Structure 1
Amino acid sequence: MSRGPEEVNRLTESTYRNVMEQFNPGLRNLINLGKNYEKAVNAMILAGKAYYDGVAKIGEIASGSPVSTELGHVLIEISSIHKKLNERLDENFRKFHKEIIHELEKKTELDVKYMNATLKRYQAEHRNKLDSLEKSQAELKKIRRKSQGGRNALKYEHKEMEYVETITSRQNEIQKFIADGCKEALLEEKRRFCFLVDKHCSFANHIHQYHLQSAELINSKLPKWQETCGDATKVPEKIMNMIEEIKTPISTPMSGTPLPSPMIERRSMVGRDYDTLSKYSPKIPSAPSARALTSPLIDMFNNPATVAQNSERKNNSTGSSDDPSLQRSVSVATGLNRVKKQKVKTIFPHTAGANQTLLSFAQGDVITLLISEEKDGWLYGEHEDTKVRGWFPSSYTKLLEENEKETVSVPGPRMMQMGLQSLLFSAEKIPLLL
């Protein structure tokens, strides 16, 4: 596309003005927007750090759970990974400030002065060249007027040729100046856009590397994370074994006051004898008024059928006993009913707190029962190691395995009759001593 010198000159001047009036003000606005961008990202990074600190704290809580330990470790690892990614993002935005915002601030002020001086210099040189051309053209007109008189025609003709050559030379010089000036103006504009694009390409490369590293890091961890939460109903084998131990020796009701354990049921028939002996032991504080706590995992795996069976077994054992007073007299007289203190093993820790009537213990401790019957789910006993006495929830304990073998011997009806006859027969032979 062919353009005249004047049109090219206008393009040159408009290019310089666009840089000064549009590009540089646009850079100033970009600097302000970039600073706002930095503040927003910094705020996001701080908020993300606080958020993932919270995730880590919840992970620590889950780590203390018997069934959620692995999930707790995953939450802590997720928190650590995301905080590491946030730190890398922060590093990239420090580069954003150094390589873009700082450079734009430094160059914008200098560029405004430079472009303004360059435009003025171009306009001044262009004006001088035009003035020289116009002056030569005016001299040529004078010579041509003088040569029309006819005198010294050869002399004026020679001068006319010199001015024509001068004018032609100056026109070519002006055209070259305008062309070079336009090229320089366009290149100045392009250099500024190239600078801006180059800086953002560099930052884009940093972000690209950040995302690649983030994807690689997360992809290496994500399958394992997803595997741990794939089945919310899965319980570790160790915990299942513990639950089975809980379910086997003791029946736990669905709600309300805990039912007596099997060990307590077996001793209910000799409870009166033991209560008689306990009168001579130290004074026992009254049981807490509130119902006893149930074990932490007991409701999750409770088996209603077991509760029903235990209740039925309890009724049968109660119904099968004959006259309680006869049993007591026979047991005291013959010694067939062996009264021995039962022991239980704790399956969950218990803390008494400020209540001095309660008993504290850790998991796996052994407690000797001092009262054979439960009271609203509470048992009273003495700690095997500390010798401290107090009340504790029965559902937090199970029958000690060695005690399970030592069942309480209660004579049947036939044995009680034989024992009573033997006692009476012996009494007839022994003289009464007054």
Structure 2
Amino acid sequence: MSRGPEEVNRLTESTYRNVMEQFNPGLRNLINLGKNYEKAVNAMILAGKAYYDGVAKIGEIAAGSPVSTELGHVLIEISSIHKKLNESLDENFRKFHKEIIHELEKKTELDVKYMNATLKRYQAEHRNKLDSLEKSQAELKKIRRKSQGGRNALKYEHKEIEYVETITSRQNEIQKFIADGCREALLEEKRRFCFLVDKHCSFANRIHQYHLQSAELINSKLPKWQETCGDATKVPEKVMNMIEEIKTPISTPMSGTPLPSPMIERSSMVGRDYDTLSKYSPKIPSAPSARASTSPLIDMFNNPATVAQNSERKNNSTGSSDDPSLQRSVSVATGLNRVKKQKVKTIFPHTAGANQTLLSFAQGDVITLLVSEEKDGWLYGEHEGTRVRGWFPSSYTKLLEENEKETVSVPGPRMMQMGLQSRLFSGMLLSSTRALPLAQPRRTGLAASQFPDQGLNPGPRQ
């Protein structure tokens, strides 16, 4: 599409004005936005560094655990890799500031002056050329008027030819000037857009390399990380061996023939008083049919599927057969009034609701045990404050500190039960046979030999 000189001249001037009035102000706005972008990324990098420092600290805690050592090392490695990637990102944005923001700031200020001067120079030169052309055209008109009807027509004809050639030459010169000026204006505009694109292509390439580095680092580590946390129930072999050693009863060989335990004789004497005691024991209601609810915090970090499996496994192991020792504990519980009774302290509140056989209490209350052995997670006792008796979940309580000092060195509910029964038998024997001197039963080997079914093995009851 052909355009006249005037139209091309208008295009040239509008191109210069677009650069000055739209492109350069747009660059100033871009510089401000780029600085905000830098601040946001720097804040993200600092927050990420603080976050992954926290991840590393938790990893150090996990590394000190016998079952979570490998998980702790993984957390530390995750923290290290992400901090390395954050440092790489920080370096890329330093170059972003140096190569884009700083360059744009410097060039924008200079470009405003340069483009303004270039446009003025073009307009002045174009005006001068037009004035020369108009002058030549005016002179040509004068000569043509003089040559009409004059005596020296030949002389004026020669001058007319000279002015026509001059006018033609100046018209061609103006057209060439306008064309060259338009080309230069369009190239000036393109150079500025090209500079901006080139700088952002360079930055995009750096970000591309950053993402490739990130993908390479994470892809090389991710399968191993996922493998370590794939099974939360898996226990290291060393820990399993340690647990198995703890579960296995330790038998101490003794030289010579072992002496008969005094507990055997005492058991026969207690048996005679057992029925007498049971006659005067208060009636204890049967334990609730459902298993006692566990502590609200016990399954906080378990997966729902794991919790369901564990619950089903516990129900199958405990629900298939009743524990015959419960009836024994109910009768023997009356003897607790004659010896020092075991007490527990509540760590969670419990509400009985409409069930009158259950015991309500608040956190921090003290309960005296009347039945020392659990029944499907339930214990029977008397509230110290209200003197109300009832069943309550054992997981909502802990052994009172004054009782912990009196228990044996091996912790566990079964050892507590053994200590209770040992003191219970001593109390009943003392009350029924005052004349018989009985020695205080020892809390270690004698109790273990008297109750082989309640040994120190903390495994599930059969």
Query: Structure 1 residue 259: deviation in Å?
Result: 25
Coordinate RMSD, CA, aligned: 13.5
* TM-score, with structure 2 as normaliser: 0.57
Between 1:83-92 and 1:310-319, the stretch displaced more is 310-319
268-277 vs 72-81, greater mean Cα deviation:
268-277
Task: Please say if residues 333 and 371 of structure 2, whose CA atoms lie closer than 8 Å, have aligned partners that are also in contact.
Answer: no
Distance 1:407 1:357, change over 3 A: same
**d(CA) in 2 for partners of 1:255, 1:347:** 47
SS of the residue corresponding to residue 374 of structure 2 reads coil
Equivalent position of 2:389 in the other structure: 389
When residues 106 and 33 of structure 1 are mapped into structure 2, their CA distance, relative to the original with a 3 A threshold, is same
Shift of 1:221: 0.6
- Whole-angstrom CA distance in 2 between matches of 1:113 and 1:253: 103
Q: Which has the larger radius of gyration?
A: 1
Does structure 1 retain, via aligned residues, the 8 Å contact 2:24–2:112? yes
Distance 1:172 1:123 in 2: 17
Stretch of structure 1 that moved more, 290-299 or 171-180: 290-299
Q: 1:81-136 CA distances to partner (integer Å, 9 max, x unpaired)?
A: 00000000000000000000000000000000000000000000000000000000
Report the CA distance between 1:43 and its aligned residue: 0.1
Three-state SS of the structure 2 residue aligned to 1:160 is helix
Structure 1 contact 348–396 (Cα < 8 Å) conserved: yes
What TM-score, normalized to structure 1?
A: 0.61
CA contact (8 A) 1:274 1:372 kept: no
Structure 2 vs 1, CA of residues 161 and 82 (structure 1 numbering), >3 Å: closer, same or farther? same
CA distance in 2, matches of 1:94, 1:417: 69
Contact 1:347-1:364 at 8 Å conserved across structures: yes
Q: Tell me, in whole angstroms, the C-alpha distance in 1 between the residues paired with 2:71 and 2:265.
A: 41
Distance change in 2, residues 1:42/1:276 (3 Å) = farther
Q: May I ask how many residue pairs the two structures share in their alignment?
A: 431
Q: Distance in 2 between matches of 1:46 and 1:429?
A: 65
Q: Deviations over 1:332-387 (max 9, x none)?
A: 99999999999999999999999999999999999999999999999999999999
Structure 1 distance, partners of 2:138, 2:297, is 112
Instruction: Compare 130-139 and 375-384 and name the one that shifted more.
Output: 375-384
**Once structures 1 and 2 are overlaid, which stretch shifts more, 231-240 or 98-107?**
231-240
After TM superposition, the structure 1 stretch with the greater mean CA deviation from structure 2, 337-346 or 46-55, is 337-346
Superposition pairs of residues 422-433 of structure 1, within 5 angstroms = none
Correspondence for 1:220? 220
Deviation at 1:11, TM superposition (A): 0.3
Q: Residues 267 and 230 of structure 1: is their aligned pair in 2 closer, same or farther, counting only changes over 3 Å?
A: farther
Distance 1:225 1:153, change over 3 A: same
Q: CA deviation at 1:149?
A: 2.0
Structure 1 residues 271 and 330, CA gap change in structure 2 (3 angstroms): same
Q: Cα–Cα, structure 1 residues 128 and 384, in superposed 2: closer, same or farther, change >3 Å?
A: same
Deviates more, 1:324-333 or 1:119-128: 324-333
Larger mean CA deviation between 97-106 and 245-254 belongs to 245-254
Give the CA deviation at 1:150: 3.0
Q: Deviations over 1:195-235 (max 9, x none)?
A: 00111111111111111111111111111101101111111
* Percent of aligned pairs with the same amino acid: 96
1:287·1:378 contact (CA, 8 Å) conserved in 2? yes
Q: Is the 8 A contact 1:351 1:360 kept in 2?
A: yes
Distance of aligned partners of 1:245 and 1:379 in 2 relative to their CA distance in 1, 3 Å threshold: farther
CA displacement, residues 369-412 of structure 1 (integer Å, 9 cap, x when unaligned): 99999999999999999999999999999999999999999999
Aligned residues of 2:8 and 2:182 also touching (Cα < 8 A):
yes
Deviation at 1:66, TM superposition (A): 1.2
Stretch deviating more after TM superposition (339-348 or 177-186): 339-348
| 8 Å Cα contact 1:382/1:389 also seen in 2 | yes
Q: Does the CA-based 8 Å contact 1:352-1:359 persist in structure 2?
A: yes
> Aligned-pair distance for 1:246?
2.2
d(CA) in 1 for partners of 2:169 and 2:113? 33
Distance 2:95 2:101 in 1: 9
Residue 143 of structure 1: aligned partner: 143
Shift of 1:277: 30
2:99–2:199 Cα contact (<8 Å) kept: yes
* Larger mean Cα displacement after TM superposition, 382-391 or 338-347: 382-391
SS in 2 for 1:411: coil
Contact between 2:323 and 2:375, CA under 8 Å: does it hold in 1? no
Ranges in structure 2 where 5+ consecutive residues have no aligned partner: 426-446, 453-462
Give distance in 2, aligned partners of 1:428 and 1:204: 78
Q: How much has 1:248 moved relative to structure 2?
A: 2.5
Gaps of 5+ in 1: none
Q: 1:244 to 1:106 in 2, by over 3 A?
A: same
Contact 2:344 2:368 in 1 (8 A): yes
For residues 82 and 387 of structure 2, the distance between their equivalents in structure 1, rounded to whole angstroms, comes to: 51
